[in-house]
Structure 1
């Protein structure tokens, strides 16, 4: 079932950089009003200048609980018409669990968990009353192929994305039972050419292409949006899970 995006208000976390920036731009092009949340005011200001009246920007660090609470209060008051939530913000750290100093590993791990998981879950819960008050609403949680098949170098990132994948499924179940007009999608992201993936991997897809696939899946109401080569991984993991694990490792 396809949905119309024109005239809707969409909240995009991490909405002024990387994949989030492209999602914001493409939603604007389809007639959405975008509320972009991010940490970097310079990037937010650039998006605001580009999008004009169709864009509102809010500076917030979603790894901080107090800032999430303030953000929920502000969004509820200033943007009560939000009907699309795209949880895109996230970080990925590579680490050597046996050799990296604990003074770096533990604080970095806590922030990675806070942003990738706590921020996603708590913002979603905080905005459920706003979303469920709309005639129709949609939540899209951006996860990763690494939620399905993890890699050794990013243990915490893989764990948070796997947890986000599970939360997305159970959130969908509860929405189906209590608010069937609120649809829930998971976008399983491929390796995308962004600042976060600089120096990692090859044959990346562009942020523009990744965003285009996410929005196409959103518009079609798909429960799972497999982006780029994750479509192949999905088939391979089902047929030959050991081979998929060996490749992704």
Structure 2
């Protein structure tokens, strides 16, 4: 276990699986203590059991601002000041715009944009008062390039990216850095839910090669990301190695968007 983040306390949302779980593992590996939160209470209990004293699990609905404030307050009162916050919680409701329901649009923004606002506001307020801290939002490369069937998701992630940059501008003078990481296709439950083929290898190949019919480019590096690839980028941005980086959106997509 490295000591790069030793002595630091991190809050991670969406920690129950996929990228969030990988972020928890990477932070612990670098010596941080982690408050792992997710709507899935059993998933965060399992993380606590797995990592022992290094991880404290709490169920959390990021769409509830009162619950977010209460958890951040309890964390700082019982475990100490938060040094790091990582917004990973997110949902995807795939649909053509003409068929997209009001409920799916609202639910997508409630988690992907409002949730980022609630957690970032609560943690940034305290970090700024202490003159230090780092906030990272896990967004998506869909925030920077149009995707068919993903208008709500892409728009909500674009909102999260710009919010994080604006927040970063406001708190930079008080020693708080705010950045985002924008993954491309990553091997998670969310990604697999988009695959219509029962053959995962074939579905992955189609993603890597791209699809002209849906105006989707392939992945130049020729592989789908693993959650750990995204977690490594997050850990870099919260570390002292990135001490002069803020308001940045780091694409981790194997070149899929051609950085459009």
- Counterparts of 1:151 and 1:228, CA distance in 2: 15
Name the CA distance, whole Å, in 1 between partners of 2:149 and 2:89: 20
Distance 2:125 2:167 in 1: 14
Change (3 A) 1:111 1:71: farther
Unaligned 5+ residue runs, structure 1? 238-249
TM-score under structure 1 length normalisation: 0.83
Which secondary structure state, in structure 1, belongs to the residue aligned with residue 62 of structure 2? Answer: coil
* Aligned equivalent of 1:216, options 230, 236, 243: 236
Deviations 1:125-162 (A, max 9, x none): 12223222445311111111111112121111111111
**TM-score normalised to structure 2 length:** 0.80
* C-alpha RMSD over aligned residues: 2.1
1:229 maps to 254
Equivalent pairs, count: 227
Distance 1:211 1:107, change over 3 A: same
Q: Secondary structure at the match of 1:61?
A: coil
* Contact 2:87–2:138 (8 Å) recurs in 1: yes
Structure 2's unaligned 5+ residue stretches are 196-206, 209-222
Deviation at 1:231, TM superposition (A): 7.9
- 2:96 is paired with a residue whose SS is coil
Quick one: distance in 2 between partners of 1:107 and 1:72?
Answer: 28
Residue deviations 1:61-104 (CA, integer Å, cap 9, x gap): 1123443343344334334411001111111110123346xxxx
- For residue 46 of structure 2, what is the aligned residue in structure 1? 46
| Structure-2 change in CA distance of 1:163 and 1:12 (3 Å) | same
Aligned to 2:148: 152
Distance 2:113 2:168 in 1: 17
Residue 19 of structure 2 corresponds to 19
Separation in structure 1 between the aligned mates of residue 256 and residue 126 of structure 2, nearest angstrom: 33
